Structures are given as C-alpha cells and as structure tokens.
Amino acid sequence: EKKASLDITTLAKELRAGSRAALARAITLVESRRGDHQALARELVQMLLPDTGKAFRVGITGSPGVGKSTTIDALGTYLIEQGHKVAVLAVDPSSARSGGSILGDKTRMARLSASDDAFIRPSPSSGTLGGVAAKTREAMLLCEAAGFGVVLIETVGIGQSETAVCDMTDFFLALMLPGGGDELQGIKKGLVELADMIAINKADGDNLKRAKITAADYRGALHILAPRSEHWHPPVETYSALTGDGIAKIWQKVLDHRKAMNASGDFAARRREQQVKWMWSMLEQRMLARLRSEASVRTKVRKIEAEVAEGHLTPALAAEQILELLQ
Ligand code: GDP
C-alpha cells in the first residue's frame, strides 16, 4: 500500500484562503480511491468542518435539454454580480459508464467559467450513485470552507440522483419545459414532491403563452399534493435562462425560503436530519467497500454467495455469516 506524503495542513490553509487550485486538489483527494488518500481526505474534511455549513446549498434538476447549464450560467453570473462566490458541482451517476460527464461541464457555462468568483467541477466518475453522491457532498463542504457562499448542484432528472441531491441541499429546484404534453412531467416520478420550487424555462418568444399555461397546470397539481413543510408551499414560476428574464425572481424565492425555514426551525432540522442520514449512508458504503476490497473477505463472500445460489444456504443465514466476517 502506497502512503501519501501530502501536507494536508498546508492544503487546508491554502483552501481556507480561497485558493481555487487548492480546492481542486482537495476535491481530487476526496475523489481518489486509494486508501491512504481517503484517510487523508477524511482528516482534511474534519479539519475544515468548522468552516463549512454557511453556503446556500441549491440543487437543480431537469431532463436533458431543459436548460440546466444555461440556467446555471445565468443564475451564477447574476449571483456573482450580487457579490457572491459561486461553486457548481454535479451528480451524474451515468458518467462512470459513459466515460464522460455531461453535467458540470465548463464549456456549457461560458460566462460563469470565465469568472474568478466561480468554481466549476464536473461529476466524479466513480461507480455507484452512493459513491458519486458522497464525494459530491464532501466537495460541497470543501467549497464552503474555501469561501463559496452559494453551491449549485446539478443533476439530471433520472432515477435516484434527485433524491441524493435533495438530501444534500437546502433548496431543490426542478426545471420544466412549457407544454409537457397531457401529463405534467415529473408528477409521476415523485420529483414534484421533492421540489421546493418549480420553474418553467424557455418562457420567451413564441413559448411565452404556453409557459404560463404550464405554470398554471403545475400550480393546480401542487394544490392537490401535501406540501413537504407546512411553512413553505413550493412556488411555480416561469423564466427564461436565455434572456435572463425571471432569474432574479428565482433567487428571491431561495431567499424567501431560507427566511421561512429559519423562522420555523425547519432549516436547522433539515440540516440535522441530512447529517445523520449521511452518516448511515457512509457507513453502508464503507461496509460494502470492505466486503469488496479485502481479498480474504471477498473470497469467503463469493463462497457464501455460491451456496445461496445453489440453494444450500438461506439468504438470512448467509447475511448473518457475512456480518460476522466484518467483525
Ligand atoms: P441542459 O441539457 O438541461 O443543460 O440544457 P442546456 O442548457 O444545454 O440547453 C438546451 C438547449 O436549450 C440549448 O440549445 C439552449 O440554448 C436552449 N435554451 C436554454 N435555455 C433557454 C431559454 O430560456 N429559452 C430558449 N429559447 N432556449 C433555451
């Protein structure tokens, strides 16, 4: 096993001073699969913990083509004009398979990537959704420690990645298109229940009227669903990422939400619940990682697995035996 000779105290110091190069190096350390790197990364994040937690954490989701990157470019540029430093991260569980992330790509955010007050990082490309999400969450903490007051986390509207991003953010924004056919997009998948706001993009030119109708349809649909918090009813707004029309309104909703959640105590409660949930999620992953990585354990697990497949051992007994291997 190689031992890393990285000076994490210096790295932490540079990162705290706001160095984007140090931030990038720290995230690379978090994303590394090497055991010694992971140990150092845990130490680094723990060291920086007092400097985390202060950002607006905003999740942004939507189907491909809805305008996520255009929106992040416009919203991020607006926020920088307001004096914020903006970090953009992404959770793309398919990037490991496709060999390249379509999310968090700098070339898709031309204005933002040219700014010294922005930091854009594509999705980590390692394996499972749980792994990708955990690394993105740690990257978010590092961004906060580096002084980024807004962290935008992009995810594509497929499967469980939305839940994962919702679990690490304070405000979850669902982007939709005007006139999504008979059915409202996202209602069936349960996405709408996660959203703190629905924003209908491309409300410009010929689309304007259709966008307004779509917004009214979503308002009607949200009326039927029970809101996640009694102190916040998710608004539905139209905007255009292309013209920038309505971008300020979206941010105003984020501020309104923060105010309402702070007043009710829901903000702190949501953060607390998220922390504990992440602890269990990390534990689950580390246990699974041990089962997969330690050669002697792996061999025994394979044998047990084969016995279950053959019907010689019940899954319940097998699980018991595997648990004993971890002690
Ligand atoms: P993503 O796949 O969700 O990131 O979507 P993109 O941001 O790449 O946008 C997909 C396409 O929609 C691009 O051709 C954009 O120029 C276009 N687009 C994005 N926002 C708007 C908008 O507000 N109005 C119009 N008319 N087109 C837009």
Q: What is the pLDDT of residues 295-321, one digit of tens each?
A: 888 899 999 999 999 999 999 999 999
What angle, 0 to 180 degrees and rounded to 10, lies between the N-to-C axes of helices 8-16 and 20-31?
A: 130
Counting from 1 in the atom list of ligand 1, the atom nearest the Cα of 63 is 3
77 Cα: distance to centroid of ligand 1 (angstroms): 16
Nearest alpha carbon, ligand 1 atom 18: 67
Query: pLDDT tier at 282 (50, 70, 90 boundaries)?
Result: confident
Nearest alpha carbon, ligand 1 atom 27: 202
- Determine which of 125-134, 236-245, 292-301 has the lowest per-residue pLDDT on average: 125-134
Each residue's pLDDT tens digit, 65-121: 899 999 999 999 999 999 999 999 999 877 544 544 556 566 789 999 999 999 999
Q: pLDDT: is 5 or 172 the higher one?
A: 172
Nearest alpha carbon, ligand 1 atom 10: 65
Q: Taking 90 as the threshold, does the pLDDT of residue 1 lie above it?
A: no
Query: pLDDT tier at 63 (50, 70, 90 boundaries)?
Result: confident
Counting from 1 in the atom list of ligand 1, the atom nearest the Cα of 239 is 23
For residue 64 and ligand 1, the question of a CB distance below 6 A is answered with yes
| Strand bridging mode 236-238 / 118-120 | unpaired
For residue 61 and ligand 1, the question of a CB distance below 6 A is answered with no
For residue 67 and ligand 1, the question of a CB distance below 6 A is answered with yes
Distance between CA atoms of residues 291 and 301, nearest Å: 7
Share the mean pLDDT of the chain.
89
For residue 101 and ligand 1, the question of a CB distance below 6 A is answered with no
Whether ipTM exceeds 0.95: yes
For residue 190 and ligand 1, the question of a CB distance below 6 A is answered with no
Distance between CA atoms of residues 20 and 28, nearest Å: 12
CB 57 within 8 Å of CB 140: yes
- Alpha helices, H only, the chain: 8-16, 20-31, 35-48, 68-81, 95-98, 110-113, 129-145, 161-166, 191-194, 208-224, 247-264, 266-293, 295-310, 315-325
pLDDT of residue 199: 96
Counting from 1 in the atom list of ligand 1, the atom nearest the Cα of 66 is 3
Nearest alpha carbon, ligand 1 atom 22: 202
Closest by Cα among 159, 65, 151, 150 to 103: 65
For residue 62 and ligand 1, the question of a CB distance below 6 A is answered with yes
pLDDT of residue 96: 47
Structure tokens given for 129: 């959704």
247 Cα: distance to centroid of ligand 1 (angstroms): 14
For residue 214 and ligand 1, the question of a CB distance below 6 A is answered with no
CB within 8 Å of 159: residues ≥ 6 apart? 93, 129
Distance between CA atoms of residues 117 and 194, nearest Å: 30
